[in-house]
Structure formats: structure tokens, C-alpha cells
Amino acid sequence: MIASTSISKWVTFPHPVPEATLRLFCFPYAGGNSLIYRAWPFGLPENVEICAIQLPGHGNRLPEPLFNSLTPLVSALALQLLPYLNKPFAFFGHSMGGLISFELARLLRRECRQRPQHLFISGHRAPHTRDFEKRTFELPEAEFIEELRRLNGTPREVLDHPELISLMAPVLRADFTIAQTYEYVDEGPLDCDLSVYGGLRDINVTREHLEAWRRYTSANFNLRMFPGDHFFLHNSRPSLLQTMSLELRRLS
């Protein structure tokens, strides 16, 4: 059984809402950090408190050891989040963050008998549709950087700056290792509502891959596609937050 811990540096609050009736925990994509969600509080209902996750080795935790396996990461996250689960809560995760939030929801069900009110999965294939041949974390440095350019999620000024990419490459490799070595174990569907989002121009995560998430919940399922590529959550943020707001208001 997981035991709770004290106030954590894993959870940041871009805009604290002491009177919130719902907490939305937001998990970053590979290489990302809590700042991804700094503007989200201003596009969601006022009763929702954004709890942005800061993983070790990311953002202001850059000096800390990185995780490179999903199971220990999710176990550590569950331990850190328990003090914050004293209100109704929901999870949002993009790409690697979607995988983390899914497995965290399953761990909380198994060990704590808790569940999110709603699970938002963004830009990640359903577990059984994963590409098992893709192991980009093992690429030589030059090829790895080219892969980052293709994915279009790392700023050009980082990719073109040797000192910056030397800082970011180990972070990205560790995160890609988490995502690409993950092994799904069937436990039966979750019983919370599941919303799945994707980018219309995302060539690696298609509508078919996203539709396949339907089997992972026994509750309501909905799928929505947005303009943009894999990182549509930035360019299509207003539409994304408006769509999420409709779902979140139903939980109030």
C-alpha cells in the first residue's frame, strides 16, 4: 500500500485556487516541464486548479537524476501526489504524459482505491497499437538530433546550439526510453470517462490509433481531432481548452 508524503516539488501551481472543487494534474511530454501548462488556468473553469507535474531532471529540477523506466516513475508519482488527492481530480497528459497519466490512474485503482474523475489522453497511441520497432533513444547523436527536428517539438534555437542540446539530449533520451520500453499489462478497463485528443497532421499518432483507446474505459469515451501536428496542444490551445472546459464543467 502506498503511504502519503509531505508537500512535494513534483507538483507546481501556475495559479493557485484554494477554493477549487477539482484539481487537474497535467503531465508533460518527453523533454517538457511544468511550464507547458503555465497559461492553462486562464482558459479553464475558475473552479479548476491546475497542478502541473515537474519530473526529476526537468526544468528547475535539471540537476536531479532522470527516470528511464515507467514503472518506478509512476510509483514515485503516486507517492508524491497522494496528499493532493483530497479533492476530486482529473488527469491530462500529452504524448509521454498521456502514458504516464494512464498508468498512474491504474496504479491508484490497484493500490489506493482512488481514480480520476476524468482522464484526458492527448497525442498518444492506445497501448496495444504502439510501434515496437521504434527505439530512437538508441540513435547516434547526429541521427538523434535529426529525429528531434522531424518531431518538431524541440525549439530550433536549442537544436542549433551545441551547449543547449548537450543539456537537453540526455533528458530527451531518458524520456524516449520511458515511452519506447514500456510494456502494457492488461488489467481491464478503467471506470472513469476518457477523452482522447489528436492532431490532424500527426503522422505518427493517427485517428485510428486514438480511436483504439475506446477499449480502455467502461464509462464515456470521446475523441476529438485538432488542427496541427503532434504538438497541436500549443497551436490549437484555445480550442483544446474550450473542449476540455465543457468536459470539466460536467464534473462540477
Return the active site residues. 95
SS3 175: helix
Q: Residue 150: CB partners within 8 Å, gap ≥ 6?
A: none
DSSP 8-state class, residue 41? G
Distance from C-alpha of 13 to C-alpha of 148, rounded to nearest angstrom: 29
* Sign of the C-alpha dihedral computed for residues 251, 127, 77 and 230 taken in this order: negative
Distance from C-alpha of 222 to C-alpha of 120, rounded to nearest angstrom: 10
Element (H, E) at 225: strand 221-226
